[in-house]
């Protein structure tokens, strides 16, 4: 059996999923995040994925993260960014909400 090779894209996608799960389940973060408007949540995750993708691209291109394919091109970075958005949003949508998050969202919807 061959060991799993962690490609830069895979690292970006794993971080995208972890960020989404933190926003869904990490106690203080999840309730704060649930209280935000959808546009704000989307903006935060969008900026986060730009930072994650940019950081991984820089680390690969500086040689700090090994990549068998060599440096990451702009097209590959854009593709990885789009994948990160899909993984991040998809995970947030399908992950069940905790009762506290449901309560915060209900309160937000009544106030808004």
Every domain of the chain and the residues it spans: 8-16+38-93
Mean pLDDT, the chain, rounded, equals 90
Q: How far is CA 98 from CA 17, 30, 33, 34, 74, in A?
A: 17, 9, 12, 10, 38
Sole residue written with tokens 């990549």: 67
Give the model confidence (pLDDT) of 47-104 as tens digits.
Answer: 999 999 999 999 999 999 888 778 899 999 999 999 999 999 999 999 888 888 888 8
| pLDDT value of position 100 | 87
Q: Which two tokens stand for residue 54?
A: 């940019």
CA atoms in the 13 A half-sphere facing the CB of 47:
5
Give the model confidence (pLDDT) of 18-61 as tens digits.
Answer: 999 999 999 889 999 988 998 999 999 999 999 999 999 999 99
Q: Is the dihedral of CA 64, 67, 70, 75 positive or negative?
A: negative
């Amino acid at each position: 059996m061959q060991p799993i090779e962690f490609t830069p894209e895979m690292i970006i996608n794993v971080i995208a999923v972890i960020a989404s799960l933190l926003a869904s389940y990490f106690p203080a973060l999840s309730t704060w995040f649930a209280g935000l408007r959808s546009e704000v949540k989307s903006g935060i995750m969008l900026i986060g994925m730009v930072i994650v993708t940019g950081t991984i691209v820089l680390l690969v291109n500086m040689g700090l993260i090994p990549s068998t394919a060599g440096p990451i091109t702009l097209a590959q970075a854009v593709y990885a960014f789009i994948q990160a958005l899909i993984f991040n949003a998809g995970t947030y949508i399908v992950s069940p909400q905790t009762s506290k998050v449901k309560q915060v969202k209900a309160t937000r919807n009544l106030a808004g």
